[in-house]
Amino acid sequence: MKSLIVKRIIAVGIALSAWELLPRLGIIDPLFIPPLSQVVVTINGLLESGELPTHTLISLQRAFSGLTAAVLVGIPLGLLLGGWFPRLQQGVEPLMELFAQANPVILAHIIIFFLGIGEGAKIFIIGWLCIWPITFSTIAGIRDVEAQLVKAARSFGLGRGSLFFRIVLPAAAPAIFTGLRLSAGYAFIMLIASEMMGASSGLGWLVVQSQESYHVQRIFAGAVVITALAVITDLLLKLLERRTVIWTNTGELDICDTHEPKRVNLYQEEAP
Amino acid sequence: MGTVADNYKDAASADAKIVVRDINWVFHLKRTRTEPARDFIALEDINLEVKKGEFLVLVGPSGCGKSTLLDILAGLAHPTSGAVYIDGKQVSGPALDRGIVLQGYALFPWRTVRQNVEFGLEIKKVPKGERKAISDRFIKLVGLDGFADRFPHELSGGMKQRVAIARALAYDPDILLMDEPFAAVDAQTRENLQDELLRIWEETKKTIVFVTHSIEEAAFLGDRVAVLTANPGTLREIVKIDLPRPRTNSDIRSSAEFGWVRHKIWELLQNHQPEVRGAIDSRPVADAISPSAEL
Amino acid sequence: MEFPQSFRDHLLRSSGLTVFLLLWELAPRLEWIDPDFLPAFSTVMVEVCELFQEGALQIHLLVSIWRGVTGLLLALALGLPLGLVLGRYYRDLAETINPLLRVLSQVNPFTLLPVFILFFGIGETAKVAVVAWVCLWPVLFYTITASREVPLILVKTAVSMGASSEEMLLKVIVPAALPTIFVGIRIAACLTFYILVAAEMLGAGAGLGWLVHNSAMNYQIPRIYAGAAFIILLGFLLSRFLRYLERGLFPWQFEAMFQLSGEPAQLAWRPRKAASIAFACTVLVALVIGGFQVDKINRASAQGGHTGHHGHQTMAEDAPGGPAAGGHGSMHHGGTSVPSKGRGSDLDMSDMTMEEEH
C-alpha cells in the first residue's frame, strides 16, 4: 500500500516536471501550453490583484446556489415521486428525461426573455441542470431499496413515516449522494460555459477575456483554478459521502498478503 | 528432469496415466499486525497415480487444497516442489491434452452454445466444417440437441453445465479435470448431471479427476476416492469403490454397500489430527487466511 | 428503463408529456405568457418544418453530427487500445497514474476551447478536439475497468486450453470487456452531444448550437425554440437508441437468472461480419467527405455570415437584454480556418498538434 502512494507521488512529480520542461525546451510550443512556472506566476498575480478571489467567489456562489436550489427541490421531489406516487412518477418520467436533455446554454437563450441575464437567471439555469440527476438518482435509490429490508422493518411495526425516515431514506442515501456528486460535476462544467457566454464576471468570463487578449497564460491560470475547484469539490463530496454513508464502504481485508508459489503467469491474473 | 525423474517414472505402474509425485504447495504468509511471518502448507507430499480411463474423485473439506491440486494437474499452477507426469512427460503448463470444467460454468456469454463448444477447436485450428461436425456430436452427447444456437443466458443452470462439459470434451483431451462442477446446481439437477456424466464417461472412456466436497457424490461417481484432509493438506487415504457399474441414482444410493463406502469416507474425514509443526503455536493457521482466499 | 406492454401503461407514461405540450400550446395563446417570448407549440413546430424545408436544419444537424462522430472516433482510437493495455498488461502503471488521469478528466472542456481556438484557429479542429477530449475520459476509464475485471474463470478456462496471448486478447478479453466499454461509449456520446452544442454556441459558424445562438442574436424567437426543441429531442433519442443497442447487443447483462421458458427470449444481435465491415467503411468515407463539406460550410458562414455577427454587435449595444459576452467579437479571426482533419482512415492525435493558426 505504502509503495503505491510513493509511486503516485513520483508520477505526479514527473507530470509536473514535464509540464515545466517540455514547453521550456520547445518540444511543446510554449504559446500553446505555457510552462508550469509561468502559469503559477500568473495565478499569483491574479491572486494579488484581487481578480482571482473575486471571480472565484462569484462563480462558486453561483454554482453553490444553483446546486442548493436543486437539492432542496430535487430530493423531496424524488422522494415523493419514488416513494409515494409511483404512478405519477411513471407519467412524468419521460417528460423529465426530456427536460434533463435541456442544455443550460440552450436554456440561457430562452431564459433571457424571462429572467434577463442577472444572477437569478444563472442560478436558475444551474439549478435546472442539477435537479435532474439528483431527482433521478433519488427515485432510483428509493426504488432499489430491497423489498426484504422493508418487509423486515415493517415486521417491527414501524409506521409509514418512521419507515420512511429510518429505513428507506438511509438505504437510498448512497444513490442520492452519487446523484449529488454527478450534478456538482456538471454544474461546474456548465457554469463556466454559461459564464463564457453571457456574463461580465466569474471565472468563465475571466478565461474568455484572456482569450480575447491572446493571453494564454491567463487562460491556463483560469483553467487550473477551475479544475482545482472541481477536484476539491468532488473530493469534499466524496468525504461527506463516506462520513454519512459509511456502511457502503467495502473495507479492506488486510489480513494477510500471500506470496504464492509461482503460478503460470501467461496473463495477468488477479490474485483472488 | 534427470535421474530422479526417471526413477519415479519407472517406479510408476505401467497403466498410470497421471503420476503425481511429492507435490508441495506452500503459502508464505507475510507478517501481519498480530502474527509473525510463517508458512502455510496447503499441500504436503501428495503422491498418487491415476490409471488410464479411471474415474478418480478427490474429496475433502474446504481449504484442503484439492482445487489447487487440480490446478497443478491442469498446468495452471507450479507447485513449490514435486512434479506431475502425464504419459511419462512432466507437466509444465496447460495444454490441449487436458480439459477443465470449473464451478460456475465459465461459459463465454457472448458466444452461442455451439460457439462455446467450438472454442477449444478454434485454438486447435480445426477447419470450420470439421468444427461444426464435432460440435454437433458433442452437443448431442450432452443432450442439448436443438439448443446449439442459443446463448448461455437463455439456458438453465444444468444446461449450462452440460455445455461446459461439451466444451471441455470437444477438443478430445485425454483427461478431464472437474472442479466441483455441480456445486452451483440444485439437488435434482445435480443427480441428473451425475447420471449424465457417468454415461458420457462410459461412452468416451476419458480419464477423469473430479473434485468435490460432497461425500455422496464422491462415493457415487468414483472408481477410487482420494480423501484429502486440511491443515496441512495431505492425502489421507485412497478408498477403492467396489460398487458395480453402471450406477444409476435410483438403485445405488439406497444400497448397503453405498452406505458403507460413504461411512468409510466420512470417517476418514473426521479422524484427522491437525499436524502441528515446529514453533508455530497451536492456533489453527486457517484462521489467519482471509475467507476469500482461494487455495 | 422499462418497456411497458399494455396500452394503459403507454397512456400513463405519456401523460406528463401530453400535459406539458398542452400547456405549451395554451399558455401563449391564452396570453398567460407573452407569446412573443414563448411561442405556442404549434408555431414552433411550423418553424421546425420551415427550417427543414430551407435545408438549414439538415445542414446544421449534419455538421454537428460530423463533429460529434469524428471526435468520438478519435477518442475511441486513443482510449480503447490505451485502456486495454493499461487495464490488462500494465496494471501497476494504471494504478499509479490513476489520480493524474482523474484530475485531467475533470479539466473543464470549456476552458480548453479557448486554448484550442487560439492555437488551432476557429476551424473544425478546435471543436473536434474538445469533443475528443470530453469523450476520451469515460471511454478510457470504462475500458480500463472492463479489461481489468474480466472474470477470472473465463481467463482460466482459456488458459487451460492453451490459448496464446493473442487469442486470449481477441477471443476472451475484448469480448468480455465489450459490454462495459459500451457503457463508457454511451456516456461519452451523450456527454459529447451536450457539450458540443454548448461549444458551438461559443465558437462556431455552423451547427445546431450555432443555429440556436444565431437565432437568439437575430431575435428570431420561434427559431430559438425550434432549434432548442430539435436538439433536446435529438439528445433524448440518442440516449434511448444507445440503451436499446446495448440491450440488444449484450442481453446477458440484464438478466439476473434466466430459465428457459420455451420461447427464445432476447437473442444477442450479431451483425454479419461483411455487413459490419461495409458499414464501417461507409462511415469512414462519409466522415472524410463530410469533413470537407463541413469545412466549406464553416468558411462560408464565417465570411458570408458576418451579418450574423454584426447583428450581434448591435444587439450588445442597444438591447440590454441580449447576452453581453464581450468575447464574441473576438471569436473571429480572419475567417480562414484550419483544414479539417478528414484525411486517412485513422485520424490520430499527432496530426492535431502540428497545425498552427496564427
Inspect the interface and report whether the beta carbons of A261 and B78 lie closer than 8 Å: yes
Q: Rounded to the nearest 5 degrees, what angle is found at the Cα of A58, between the Cα atoms of A57 and A63? A: 95
Specify the length of chain C in residues: 358
Which CATH number belongs to the domain containing residue B208 in this structure?
Answer: 3.40.50.300
Specify the length of chain A in residues: 272
Is residue B159 located within the same domain as residue B93?
no
pLDDT on residue C260: 41
What total number of domains does chain B contain? 2
Helix (H) or strand (E) holding B116: helix B113-117
Is residue B75 located within the same domain as residue B58?
yes
Nearest CA in chain A to B33: A255
Name residues whose C-beta falls within 8 Å of residue B1's C-beta, 6 or more positions apart in sequence.
B90
Is residue B247 located within the same domain as residue B184?
yes
pLDDT band at C343 (very low <50, low <70, confident <90, very high): very low
Global pTM reads: 0.79
Strand partners, B27: B40
Which DSSP state fits B170?
H
C242: contact with A, CB 8 A cutoff: no
Helix (H) or strand (E) holding B44: strand B38-51
Inspect the interface and report whether the beta carbons of B100 and C259 lie closer than 8 Å: no
Contact A272, B77 (CB under 8 A): no
Strands B224-229 and B38-51: unpaired
B240: contact with A, CB 8 A cutoff: no
**Domain extent listing, chain C:** 56-251+271-354
Give tens-digit pLDDT for B127-173: 999 999 999 999 998 889 889 988 888 888 889 999 999 999 998 89
- Distance between CA atoms of residues C160 and B97, nearest Å: 10
Q: For residue A253, which residues of chain B lie inside 8 Å, CB to CB?
A: 290, 292
Domain presence at residue B294: no
> DSSP of A92-157, one letter per residue?
HHHHHHHHHH--HHHHHHHHHHHHTTSHHHHHHHHHHHHHHHHHHHHHHHHHTS-HHHHHHHHHTT
- Of B172, B205, B232, the domain-final residue: B172
Is residue B189 located within the same domain as residue B237?
yes
Distance from CA of A81 to the nearest CA of C (A): 13
Chain A (118-177) residues lying within 8 Å, Cβ to Cβ, of chain C: none
Q: Can you give the residue range of the structural domain that contains B55? A: 3-97+175-288
Contact C149, C172 (CB under 8 A): no
CB atoms within 10 A of CB A270: 10
The position carrying cell 484432509 is B229
Name residues whose C-beta falls within 8 Å of residue A209's C-beta, 6 or more positions apart in sequence.
A218, C326, C327
Domain presence at residue B248: yes
Is residue B127 located within the same domain as residue B51?
no
B6: contact with C, CB 8 A cutoff: no
Is residue B49 located within the same domain as residue B192?
yes
- Distance between CA atoms of residues B155 and A145, nearest Å: 29
Inspect the interface and report whether the beta carbons of A255 and B289 lie closer than 8 Å: yes
Chain C (139-178) residues lying within 8 Å, Cβ to Cβ, of chain A: 148, 152, 155-156, 159, 165, 168
Name residues whose C-beta falls within 8 Å of residue B62's C-beta, 6 or more positions apart in sequence.
B213, B230
Question: Grid coordinates standing for C216?
Answer: 437568439
- Sort residue C139 into left (φ over 0), alpha (ψ -120 to 50) or beta: alpha
Give tens-digit pLDDT for A104-140: 888 888 888 887 777 888 888 889 989 998 998 888 8
Is residue B129 located within the same domain as residue B198?
no
Q: For residue A106, which residues of chain C lie inside 8 Å, CB to CB?
A: 197-198, 209, 212, 227-228, 231-232
Going from the first residue of chain A to its last (272 residues), give the mean pLDDT of each consecutive group of 10, the final group possibly shorter: 82 90 83 86 86 88 90 88 79 85 83 79 87 88 76 77 76 85 86 82 85 84 90 88 64 28 34 34
Give tens-digit pLDDT for B217-245: 999 998 999 988 877 788 888 888 888 88
pLDDT on residue C342: 30
- Distance between CA atoms of residues C272 and C277, nearest Å: 9
Domain presence at residue B203: yes
Contact C226, C323 (CB under 8 A): no
pLDDT on residue B133: 93
Domain C56-251+271-354 top-level CATH class? mainly alpha
Helix (H) or strand (E) holding C70: helix C56-88
The answer to whether the peptide bond before residue C271 is cis (omega within 30 degrees of 0) is no
Give tens-digit pLDDT for C86-120: 988 888 888 888 888 988 998 888 888 888 887 78
A219: contact with C, CB 8 A cutoff: yes
The position carrying cell 459500451 is C182
Inspect the interface and report whether the beta carbons of C260 and B102 lie closer than 8 Å: no
B98 pLDDT more than 70: yes
Contact C357, C334 (CB under 8 A): no
Inspect the interface and report whether the beta carbons of A117 and C323 lie closer than 8 Å: yes
pLDDT on residue A264: 36
Distance from CA of B11 to the nearest CA of C (A): 29
Is residue B115 located within the same domain as residue B254?
no
Domain presence at residue B204: yes
Is residue B272 located within the same domain as residue B183?
yes
Homologous superfamily (CATH) of A37-246 is MetI-like (1.10.3720.10)
Domain presence at residue B137: yes
Inspect the interface and report whether the beta carbons of B152 and C175 lie closer than 8 Å: no
pLDDT on residue C328: 34
